[in-house]
Structure 1
């Protein structure tokens, strides 16, 4: 495994684990962290599921403002930072064939909150908080925030979160449908490990298809969706994994999926 400086990375038994590892800075992003995370996500090998989390007491506090090395009052091209680093990360998380689980162990603020929301399943400790901290700086929710928020919780709540920047605690985030689940902090590791193991044992081609069709459904009409469902069911029905799944069900045994 590569020897990264700002993240921890392991890949074992089909589960890739990535930990943002700048706890002294609440795992806020630098250009180096973006580069290392990009490399890790591009080298997942045989991983069937990805877990993204943070070290210490935070998940991620977004952009490390010190990394830009800009004197107070000087102008900076934030669009360049977004185009170079944040947009590619959000696009990668959305397009990976593997399900990505965000294990939100603590505060997720700014772009850090929106990285979590860009993942496929978000499980958060009950003490975690999600903060859209952009309005205090005169900015907008980037890193996919303005896209994901209204689709997950509706326009009224999205505007409330984005305009006020008020922290949203994980249990309420789960009640609102912003995230999949909130659990007691002592159960976070076991909950996510069990979820990752379950996903890693399922047919990977089917999971990739589910992720793709759900994430892109907003752009299609009902007729287009029905046609795509037909095509995908036809394609997946010819896979070895589908035949194995049916055989295992009929023979009352555990299935073994190969991704073919």
Structure 2
């Protein structure tokens, strides 16, 4: 099990980077503010994702929140004094972190409970798989504050739920449940709150045992598919397959198939 916070991290750090073997957990850590993201948290997230991008031993990443919720959105105190500068200070590190997460080979899981609203929902949408407690409440929320969305929500939302549903979620600003989120395709699965930790750890370990470089190619191919014509996507697939053909994991997968045994992937 991971420690409550790493030995070298202050107890009041806005974000905790925890390791459990090949699984890295990024834990939003402002529980008294429902993990509302402020500039120090955004900067800490970027620093942590940069470190993960340089670490080939990371084979799965989990995003989660400390305390009673995943993330309640952006910290309005950051925006209140100077909305223009506050937004710029928040979005520069958050956007870079999201872009880096999308380029990782390691799959990204979001473990969501309590509330995921505003920037919290936007960050959740960047994960490859989302497991949520069945008691979670979701709200894109931006329109209720008089602003448009950020942190990639406008990119991810219509891809996940289609344009009509995305417009409904974004323009009405209504809260919705985990059951609705699963029905609409926003989350992978809703589970009883008491089972969430175990379900996430089981899924994370499964992914951490998988062919990490192949995962990386797969997630990048799927994320780029809407932006390419078919001939371009075919070329990108061929290049990715060619890279996988040079890996230990593909050779292991083929040998395991012929030996009728589970493959023992090493992520290389």
* Bucket of the pairwise TM-score, normalised by the shorter protein: over 0.9
**Post-superposition offset of 1:181:** 1.3
Residues 177 and 112 of structure 1, relative CA distance in 2, 3 Å threshold: same
1:139 to 109, 131, 147: 147
Instruction: Please tell me whether residue 16 in structure 1 is matched to residue 11 in structure 2.
Output: no
Contact map agreement 2:71 2:115 (CA 8 A) in 1? yes
Task: Select the residue among 205, 214, 218 that pairs with 2:213.
Answer: 205
Contact persistence 1:206–1:236 (CA under 8 A): yes
Is structure 2 residue 242 aligned with structure 1 residue 231? no
Q: Are the structure 2 counterparts of residues 176 and 89 from structure 1 closer, same or farther at C-alpha, using a change threshold of 3 Å?
A: same
CA distance in 1, matches of 2:83, 2:210: 49
Find the residue that maps to 2:74 and give its secondary structure.
Answer: coil
The aligned residue for residue 116 of structure 2 is 108
Q: TM-score when scaled to structure 1? A: 0.92
Distance 2:97 2:243 in 1: 29
Shift of residue 78, structure 1, vs aligned partner: 5.1
> Which blocks of at least 5 consecutive residues in structure 2 are unaligned?
1-5
Q: Does 1:50 align with 2:58?
A: no
Shift of 1:129: 1.7
Residue 250 in 1 paired to residue 261 in 2? Answer: no
Query: Residue 259 of structure 1: CA displacement?
Result: 2.9
**Aligned counterpart in structure 2 of residue 66 of structure 1, from 77, 94, 115:** 77
What count of residue pairs does the alignment treat as equivalent?
Answer: 257
Task: Give, in angstroms, the shift of residue 54 of structure 1.
Answer: 0.4
Q: Which contiguous aligned blocks of 4+ residues in structure 1 show a shift greater than 6 angstroms?
A: none
* 1:118-171 CA-partner distances (Å, limit 9, x unpaired): 111111111112211111111011111112111111121111111111012111
Q: Is 1:77 aligned to 2:88, yes or no?
A: no
C-alpha RMSD over aligned residues: 1.8
